[in-house]
Amino acid sequence: KEDPHHDLGDRQDGAGASPREPLFAAVLREVAAERERVALDDGASASRNFPYLPREVTADQVHLALEHDTNPFTNQPHTAQYKKILKARKTLPVFAHMAEFYKIFNKHQIIIMVGETGSGKTTQIPQFVAYSDLPHIKNKIVACTQTRRVAATAVAQRVADEMDVQLGQQVGYSIRFEDMTEQGTTFIKYMTDGILLRESMHDPELSRYSTIIIDDAHERTLATDILMGVLKTLARRRPDLKLIIMSATLDALKFQKYFAVSSDALPPLFKVPGRTHPVEVFYTLEEVSDYVEDAIRFVLEIHCTEEPGDILVFMTGEEEIEGVCHSIKREVKDLINAYPETVGPLECIPLYSWLPPQEQQRIFDPAPEADSPDGPPGRKVVVSTNIAESSLTIDGIVYVVDPGFSKQKVYNPNTRVESLLVSPISKESAWQRTGRAGRTRPGKCFRLYTEKYFMSELEEQTKPEILRSNLVSTVLMLVKAGIKDLVEFDYLDEPAPESLLKALEVLNHLAAVDDDGNLTTLGSIMADFPLDPQLSKMLIVSPEFKCSNEILTITAMLSVPSVWLRPSKKQEEADAAKLLFAVPGGDHLILLNVFNKYILNQHDKDWTWIHYLSAPALLQAVNVREQLERMMARFEVDLVSVQDQSEMSLSVKQALCCGFFMQVAHKVGGKRNYMTLNNQPVLLHPSCRLDTQPEWVIFNELVVTTRPFIRTVTGIRPEWLFKYANLYFDLRDWPDSETKRALMRVTKKTTGRSGARINKATRGGESGEV
Ligand code: CDP
Ligand code: MG
């Protein structure tokens, strides 16, 4: 037996409620009575051990518990809402396969599960597991990872409703900067993959968990991939820990092979057949020049001409989504005014990752009713990022509009800059998107690209994130978790060894690891902050510059989505509003100023609205700031400020240099032209409010749209680079380049010497690495 703890009370006389464990008493009685009846029926001995034991549970027993009047987890009577949702749950394909699930789950430590999006994996499986693990009895938790924040919060809310409990109690979620669980009470926990990875760093045994479910493994996020490697080894050390790897596409064999103990002992595959309806796919005849405009046009056309049924539109980000919603709302109003007899009401709902929770739940609201009993029917449009591709299922979608793009992480190891780029999706993604239209009945998918483009231009599959990400943060976590040999780590898809070495090198420059790759004290604290290493380094050293209060605010502002709103039809007004916050020095100081004004105005929503600022983002920044402040207190990082404004600005810039010395550019020629340390020409982003154009700047982001731009930029003195990152700026090993010459001019000016050091600089340079 895998679990020797028969903690369900005195099961020999299980017919009475056990004083030790009243929680399941009602179920126990019921099940015992049922067994007795069955046993008498088939003449078998009635004295067999009571079977409702952890991990020996059967689907029949769970069905009994589900149908019971009392909630076994709370001992409260089930509500009417519970019964209504249960009826809906029973129609899910996963629910129909409960018996098979328990047969496999009870016998095996690791299971690979495959089921179409919407079949009930995310909502049902953790509950099934809870009935089997009975985690609440042993103070354990069933974890289910999600690849996106919104998915974690939305699904946790749904499952809390399904189980008739309050969110944050028995069922909770944990995402970065937000923990909605209660210790000792929560036993089903939805969490982002990144959070679980972080936990594994502190508690390598993950001893709180009885079962860990990796959901949406097919998305192959960086954190999911690393987690799978960590869990694979952990499963050997902890035979009581069960793992379920869930995926929506049929790459199950890859996961099976990865988790196999030996080549002939693959973990079992639990496959739930989907129940989707056919979807008709339409392509455009010509290439589309503006997919945003076209998507809007398609939505309106569908609304005016197609049968009732909701619409799902894929866009790439918040700004686009808000823009599209705005335009659709306006145009529909005009249409209804012009054709009240034929055009019904249309509700347009945005969905993206930082949407506040109350807003998220709106996507599940039913479509609006017709304005009058015989008026034209209403319809719902959800405009979403690729969250709706496979993480969240919205029922009632019949039409999908797919422009064929999503924002994807792209990392350039040479510039060491990671950016989110609007890129073409893969064929697999396109088919996932199409599938969303066939949930409840046959649907239609409008692809805003030609068939030829689809066939010849789109990749088969999206590349796993680990092969296209900056690994610095991950490597720091692995080192902190005590994983010595990064190259030998068991990756599902191995990153290039050079990428790992580069990441170590960056950590070394940040003084997080020493020359032998061992974690330093600073590195250990850095790893504990839920921030990118550059940010955490800057924050931790900021008291030395007497500006940790200000750096804390800036860090919080850089950790939330952009606070600047720039609606497409109001760009001039938005830009003018932004000018009101201008302060000399640069964008980081402007962010600080915005935050302080927001606090002065007491989080006033009207104030944010007039100034084209995002109220949810600012509120989130306040929240993030508070949490980081608590962490700083824990690690005794002092909170200090300099009063004098210009002194403060100097200190902040110096602290910035301590973290972001690799993201530096210097001016070349006029007109906002700069050159990064590794000689990539870039432009100041139009949003950049630098009043002067300093010779040297530090930037937070490199974004590539029509051209490479640097965004969130602040002027610095180049001497600081040598002062605070002398190892990195040891120019002797730098290959000759325009940037190197510029830096050498700086050293000449400050030290007045040009001799030995610079002559030596001609050596090396073969690697071309900066
Ligand atoms: O994980 P998978 O895609 O297999 O399905 P799921 O997320 O468990 O969703 C199953 C069903 O639960 C959906 O079809 C929705 O009807 C419902 N659901 C919901 O109503 N509200 C949510 N927040 C999540 C799911
Ligand atoms: Mg799911």
The per-residue pLDDT for range 606-630, each reduced to its tens digit, is: 999 999 999 989 999 999 999 999 9
Burial of 515 (0-12, 13-18, 19+ CB in 10 A): exposed
What whole-number distance in Å separates Cα of residue 380 and Cα of residue 397? 9
Ligand 1 contacts CB of residue 364 (under 6 A): yes
pLDDT level of residue 674 (50, 70, 90 thresholds): very high
The DSSP H or E segment spanning 246 is strand 242-247
Mean pLDDT of the 11-16 span:
38
Ligand 1 contacts CB of residue 395 (under 6 A): yes
Q: What is the pLDDT of residue 25?
A: 61
What whole-number distance in Å separates Cα of residue 139 and Cα of residue 186? 9
Share of the chain above pLDDT 90, in %: 66
Biggest CA-to-CA distance, the chain:
101
Ligand 1 contacts CB of residue 155 (under 6 A): yes
Nearest alpha-carbon partner for 493 in 459, 461, 466, 474: 466
Ligand 1 contacts CB of residue 218 (under 6 A): no
Q: What is the pLDDT of residue 270?
A: 97
pLDDT tens sequence across 278-293:
999 999 999 999 999 9
Give the residue, out of 247, 393, 394, with the most ligand 1 atoms within 8 A of its beta carbon, to mutate for a pocket test.
393
Ligand 1 contacts CB of residue 120 (under 6 A): yes
pLDDT tens sequence across 370-420:
888 888 999 999 999 999 998 888 989 999 999 999 998 887 766 666 777
Distance 86 CA to ligand 2 centre (A): 18
pLDDT level of residue 79 (50, 70, 90 thresholds): very high
Does the pLDDT of residue 753 top 80, yes or no?
Answer: no
Q: Which numbered atom of ligand 1 lies nearest the CA of 215?
A: 1
pLDDT tens sequence across 522-535:
999 999 999 999 99
pLDDT tens sequence across 213-254:
999 999 999 999 999 999 999 999 999 999 999 998 878 999
Q: Which two tokens stand for residue 636?
A: 């005794």
Does the pLDDT of residue 85 top 60, yes or no?
Answer: yes
Ligand 1 contacts CB of residue 360 (under 6 A): no
Nearest alpha-carbon partner for 536 in 606, 631, 416: 631
Ligand 1 contacts CB of residue 435 (under 6 A): no
The residue ranges of DSSP E strands in 594-722, in sequence order, are 664-667, 673-676, 681-684, 696-704, 708-715
Burial of 117 (0-12, 13-18, 19+ CB in 10 A): buried
Ligand 1 contacts CB of residue 158 (under 6 A): yes
What whole-number distance in Å separates Cα of residue 308 and Cα of residue 312? 13
Distance 499 CA to ligand 2 centre (A): 31
Q: 171, 135 in Cβ contact below 8 A?
A: no
Task: Tell me phi and psi for residue 607, to 5 degrees.
Answer: -60, -45
Average pLDDT, the chain: 88
pLDDT tens sequence across 262-281:
778 899 999 998 777 999 99
Mean pLDDT of the 13-30 span:
50
Give helix then strand counts, H and E, for the chain.
29, 21
DSSP category for residue 651: H
Q: 519, 255 in Cβ contact below 8 A?
A: no
Q: What is the pLDDT of residue 751?
A: 67
Ligand 1 contacts CB of residue 117 (under 6 A): yes
pLDDT level of residue 42 (50, 70, 90 thresholds): very low
Distance 392 CA to ligand 2 centre (A): 6
Q: Which two tokens stand for residue 770?
A: 């900066």
Nearest alpha-carbon partner for 586 in 419, 743, 710: 710
Distance 440 CA to ligand 1 centre (A): 13
The DSSP H or E segment spanning 407 is strand 405-412
Does the pLDDT of residue 706 top 70, yes or no?
Answer: yes
Q: What is the pLDDT of residue 372?
A: 87
pLDDT level of residue 758 (50, 70, 90 thresholds): very low
Distance 117 CA to ligand 2 centre (A): 6
Distance 118 CA to ligand 1 centre (A): 5
Ligand 1 contacts CB of residue 393 (under 6 A): yes
pLDDT level of residue 761 (50, 70, 90 thresholds): very low
Segments in 278-370 forming alpha helices (H) = 291-305, 318-338, 357-360
Ligand 1 contacts CB of residue 126 (under 6 A): no
What whole-number distance in Å separates Cα of residue 559 and Cα of residue 591? 12
Q: What is the pLDDT of residue 31?
A: 62
Mean pLDDT of the 132-156 span:
93
Q: What is the pLDDT of residue 44?
A: 36
The angle formed by the CA atoms of residues 91, 93 and 95, to the nearest 5 degrees, is 70
pLDDT level of residue 440 (50, 70, 90 thresholds): confident
The DSSP H or E segment spanning 618 is helix 615-634
pLDDT level of residue 258 (50, 70, 90 thresholds): very high
Q: Which numbered atom of ligand 1 lies nearest the CA of 123?
A: 8
Q: What is the pLDDT of residue 48?
A: 35
**Own/partner pairs, 353-356, CB within 8 angstroms, 24+ separation:** 353/148, 353/149, 353/150, 353/385, 353/387, 354/149, 354/318, 354/560, 354/561, 354/616, 354/617, 354/620, 355/150, 355/616, 356/616, 356/619
Q: 112, 196 in Cβ contact below 8 A?
A: no
Mean pLDDT of the 315-323 span:
89
The angle formed by the CA atoms of residues 680, 410 and 149, to the nearest 5 degrees, is 135
The DSSP H or E segment spanning 190 is strand 188-192
Ligand 1 contacts CB of residue 125 (under 6 A): no
Distance 468 CA to ligand 2 centre (A): 24
What whole-number distance in Å separates Cα of residue 337 and Cα of residue 37? 67
For the chain, helix, strand, coil in percent to 5 are 45, 15, 40
Return the amino acid letter for 440: T
Q: What is the pLDDT of residue 623?
A: 94
Does the pLDDT of residue 199 top 90, yes or no?
Answer: yes
Q: What is the pLDDT of residue 251?
A: 82
Q: 529, 628 in Cβ contact below 8 A?
A: yes
pLDDT tens sequence across 716-740:
999 999 999 988 999 998 889 888 9
Reading across the β-sheet that carries 346-351, which strands appear in turn? 279-282, 443-447, 397-402, 310-314, 379-384, 346-351
Q: Which residues of 385-401 are buried (b: 16+ CB within 10 A; e: fewer)?
A: bbbbbbbbbbebbbbbb
Q: What is the pLDDT of residue 561?
A: 86
Task: Tell me phi and psi for residue 229, to 5 degrees.
Answer: -65, -45
Share of the chain above pLDDT 70, in %: 90
Distance 467 CA to ligand 1 centre (A): 30
The DSSP H or E segment spanning 141 is strand 141-146
Please tell me the least confidently modeled range out of 133-137, 158-162, 289-293. Answer: 133-137
Cross-strand bridge partners of residue 180: 173
pLDDT tens sequence across 335-371:
999 998 899 999 999 999 877 777 888 899 999 998 8
Q: 275, 434 in Cβ contact below 8 A?
A: no
Nearest alpha-carbon partner for 208 in 105, 136, 113: 136
Q: Which residues of 49-88 are buried (b: 16+ CB within 10 A; e: fewer)?
A: ebebbbbbbbbbbbebbbebebbbbbeeebeeebeebeee
